[in-house]
Amino acid sequence: MKDNCFTCSYLWSLVQEHLEELDPSPESPHASAREIPVSRVKFRRDEEMTLQMIWSTGKKSIHARFTAFPVGDPASAMSRKVDVSTFSTSAQPGLWRQWLRTCMESHEKCRQKQAQLQPFMPDRLIEVWEGKTSNEYAWRLVRGADLGSVPYLTFSHCWGTAQPVQLMKGDNTYCHFHPATFLPKTYQDAFSITLTLGFRYLWIDSLCIVQDDELDWFFQSSVMGFIYENSACNIAATWARDGSEGCFIRREPSSINSPIIKLPSQGRQLVDHHILAIDSYLDDVTSAPLNSRGWVTQERFLSRRQFNFSRKEVYWECDELIASEHFPKGVPDELWDLTTLNQDTTPGGHHSLDFDDESKLRQAWSALVGQYSDCEFSRNSDKFIALAGLANKMRDATGDEYVAGLWRKDLHRQLCWVPDIDSRFRVDRFTATAYAAPTWSWAKAEGPVMYDLRYTARKEDSLSLAEVTDLIIQSDDRLNTHSFVSCKLCLRGIAVWARVDPAGDRTKMENSSNYTLSSLSQAGGSAAACLIGPELTIEWDENCSLENIGTSRGQFILARQQEKLLFMLIYIDDGPHVFGLVLRKLPSR
């Protein structure tokens, strides 16, 4: 690895971040030498030059992609880049204050959003003061009702395996000032950032919610969306896996600063080009440890502004600007807007949730479901309540009815979610979880799910084949967002009874989800015969329908071949691709 080389430094930082996940298995030929082989290198040259590298050990893969932009276009975002010279992410507080001040004073969209908010104050806040010496802080808990209307910040962080200091019943001592030295490093860094930005009050979940009081926990969780939405800004410890790591980290500037090299142009003349890591925002923010935590999804997308303290640099996010230390006036769209790369799989930032555009908002929700379902939860019962703030916000924006993670308008199409085909998740994904979720909701499945992009992007080119005739939802909260104790859904449409047989050689297709239908018995008449045909092959993850956790995959597939299932058609696009549901009667309980 060459010192001060951008490409080498970037690749090394990426490997370091995922080293534990990439560690070869004991059976791997690379295990003794701890080698991580590069499984693919691909160079493409069309309108832009792109280099792609992939590492894989069989259980984990990471990708690195680099692209080149010609130097010299004054309108290009590349003309706004600034080389980073400092070796710590704590080194540019002046830039943080500039981003915040510009947003509060000059961003019209952000100011309009603030003006539309209803007054709200959390029940508890942390008051922070500087200590007697440098880098020392004192803190105490205060009641929001005693403060009136004061600006405050919020904090997003990973708890990790080492549980942070928590507020418990009877902890009255926290009403008095305490030194912050016994708090996790991440909290101490958050105190430093709060004071640096000119604020004194901060909200942190573990200290502002009584953790062993079920009523307080439930109430505070139910207003979590309001807490983050009304904060002046959210501080995100994006890179840290637990409270011991802190917000700040030492970094190598060479892994950030994009170099200029000479590359042949179309006329074969050597021309100066900027070299950029295409996935830098994705690696630093979207796929960072913090954003694997389920609760953080709504914290991030409901906060009006957010500082992301990542492994390499600090990022700013608001409705009008996504910036970084390297691009303080705006990260190029190619580096954060995944839609420009034909990778519309996850919301790319605050821009992805435009509550004023219903069509875009519904598409963003479908993408957000994919991201959220891949998150981790300390309790499975949190899956609905941790999304309740976003659900309430979308319901207010659309006037639609929220139905256990789906929406009443176009509900029959939203039933056609599919599990992600990643082999790591192809076991026990339809589980008898303790929390209430209907079997037709994506929230019932374990692991990531997704919607077919043909549906989310081109609904106007499809034909509905089913309709919802009845829907009865019972929830134990008045907002119908936290949990669902009973859900009844009636559909009318075209369906066939059939058995399934594996398609192709299963020994060569271990992760295949292709099946053919046999022994068709039409419940839908001639229409079903026309649409199904005699040799229909379907894609279906049978593990997603596995209710009995003790059943092996082989036993399950054999049982499926002997059982008749009901295949219901939901809609057909102009492909033509038919989308539908696989239905079976649940065993009596």
Triad 578, 582, 586: Cα angle to 5° = 165
Q: Which two tokens stand for residue 145?
A: 């009702």
pLDDT of residue 498: 75
Do 496 and 581 form a contact (C-beta atoms < 8 A)? no
Flag residues of the chain having pLDDT under 70: 1-3, 18-61, 73-79, 266-267, 336-352, 421-436, 453-461, 500-563, 574-576, 586-589
Q: What 3-state class would DSSP assign to 65?
A: strand
- pTM > 0.75: yes
pLDDT of residue 570: 87
Q: Encode pLDDT of 267-316 as tens digits.
A: 678 888 888 888 889 889 988 999 999 999 999 999 999 999 999 999 99
Nearest to 255 by CA among 4, 40, 571, 489: 4
pLDDT of residue 7: 76
Q: Specify the length of the chain in residues.
A: 589
Q: Please tell me the distance from the alpha carbon of residue 571 to that of residue 557, in angstroms, as a whole number.
A: 27
Triad 534, 543, 453: Cα angle to 5° = 70
- Say how many CA atoms lie within 13 Å of 561 toward its Cβ: 10
Mind spelling out the 3-state secondary structure of 134-152? CCCEEEEEEEHHHCCCCCC
Do 212 and 286 form a contact (C-beta atoms < 8 A)? no
Task: Please give the radius of gyration of the chain, using alpha carbons only, rounded to the nearest integer.
Answer: 26
pLDDT of residue 424: 44
Asked if the bond preceding 576 is cis, omega within 30° of 0, the reply is: yes
Triad 375, 380, 383: Cα angle to 5° = 60
Q: Please tell me the distance from the alpha carbon of residue 391 to that of residue 407, in angstroms, as a whole number.
A: 10
Nearest to 312 by CA among 94, 103, 6: 6
Nearest to 293 by CA among 359, 367, 387: 387
